[in-house]
Chains A and B, each alone.
Chain A
């Protein structure tokens, strides 16, 4: 590796006041032709390029990104990583990703700050209790660590939670996945970009796709703001804008793009050392290494690409947070933002071939794509390289909306979408 990061390189560069670090990735202009082009330079797209080069020896490839890498939903999520999904297909997909997360910093020689601090999901009513117990059993049958906690055990694991029985949404129990946690979202994009660049992948920023050129039923190339790029394989990883790209290619997707909001507080000393998700009231809290509370809210119900959301969504989330964590009542929020998430009717992603030869879509991750980044890239690279899905993403094909074989994770995934 040309510039391996280590304690020695840190010391060496300290002597030159850290002014001589090499660029982590280059800024090339597009070539005329590539073996494959990935549309979208977020975590999923960059991971796809990385695994295409690393595991499938496809080095003449490019990632085109309309803004800067990691500047979309990769930088807008609340960084939660877990794999406690109900259905077998989802469990396989998300746990594949979690297993890669566990060794990712070493593999990339880039600290993605993966922290297995545990994710706790709270139950607030009898149906929640039943659903969460059922999911715990399903997780264990799939080899995923999961335990069910009583109200007292929830309180012991996270003492600042208000477990009083007379609040509006009392805590009746919860589940805990200890292998779950968080990671630094920007670092994931940067680490994959650096790894892909080193293997010869062209990462082309400020390059927006304007059209997909087809020759009958196959892809011929893409029109971009930096000119036409010829390629036989196009992998689209465009999150909220997937339908826009699909429209250019003349295919239909079952997606709706909606605003999902998050916010962070002023930084404070360590107060919450885990991730607590409360699905019934859309309140998701963890604390960043800088000390900010990272809070996730719910989606709005209308289609929008404006990267704004409704005020009442944030208000509802903060109401719930204040009831569950009275200690936060004097905290001030620093920033609030919205990202556009592409939601499938069954709340499961699409990692699939399409009716157009050489055109692949990786989309529909909805409100929870960050956790899957390494697994999604690995499986999508397999799908593109072999023109066939891997067995772990076979169920997430586009044809399931015709056959009816849906992977219904609405509510079942421990998150109300």
Chain B
């Protein structure tokens, strides 16, 4: 259990939030052109990193807005939170 600093509402208990999985997976621009392998990659394959992972979260029991989070999955420490549409920081 941890506290999450919603970029719109401020710090709230994690129980108010819903995890939305890996961030920055782009929807295919030409879905009709995709091979089965590419569909599998988009739909199912995940990095599932032990360490620094980029994720999407939703403040489900609050403002209901989505945002991005960089979190260390080995100890649940949150490194950075940034809004949807913003580019992930490098390095």
Contact = CB atoms under 8 A, between A and B. Distances in A.
Interface in A242-286: 243-244, 247, 252-257
A302 interface: yes
Nearest to B57: A302
B75 interface: yes
A228 interface: no
Given A255-B46, A303-B53, A402 B40 contact: yes
Given A253-B48, A254-B44, A306 B76 contact: yes
A252 B45 contact: yes
B50 interface: yes
B48 A257 contact: yes
A401 interface: yes
Contacts of A386: none
Contact of A256 (B1, B40, B46): B46
Interface stretch (A86-94, A156-164, A196-204, A307-315): A307-315
Contact of A302 (B19, B41, B49): B19
Interface in B19-47: 19, 21, 36-37, 39-41, 43-47
Given A306-B75, A306-B76, A312-B15, A401 B1 contact: no
Interface size bucket, A side?
20 to 34
B50 A305 contact: yes
Interface of B: 1, 14-15, 18-19, 21, 36-37, 39-41, 43-50, 53, 55, 57, 71, 73-76
Given A241-B50, A310-B15, A303 B55 contact: yes
B74 to A, nearest CB: 5
Nearest to B15: A312
Contact of B74 (A252, A305, A310): A305
A301 interface: yes
Nearest to B48: A243
Contacts of A306: 73-76
Contacts, number: 72
Contacts of A303: 19, 21, 48-49, 53, 55, 73
B9 to A, nearest CB: 18
A257, A305, A311, A403, most chain B CB atoms within 10 A: A305
A345 interface: yes
B42 to A, nearest CB: 11
A255, A256, A402, most chain B CB atoms within 10 A: A402
A312 B47 contact: no
Interface of A: 241, 243-244, 247, 252-257, 300-306, 308, 310-312, 342, 345, 401-404
A302 B54 CA distance: 12
A241 B50 CA distance: 8
Nearest to A398: B40
Contacts of B50: 241, 243-244, 257, 305
Given A256-B48, A302-B55, A303-B55, A308 B37 contact: no
B69 to A, nearest CB: 9
A404 to B, nearest CB: 8
A152 B50 CA distance: 48
A309 to B, nearest CB: 8
A304 B73 contact: yes
Contacts of A302: 19, 55, 57, 71
Given A253-B48, A308-B1, 4 more contacts: A252-B46, A254-B46, A302-B19, A305-B74
B74 A256 contact: no
Given A244-B50, A303-B53, A306-B73, A401 B40 contact: yes
A301 B36 contact: no
A236 to B, nearest CB: 14
Contact of B1 (A252, A255, A311, A403): A311
Contacts of B53: 303
A172 to B, nearest CB: 29
B45 A403 contact: no
A312 B48 CA distance: 23
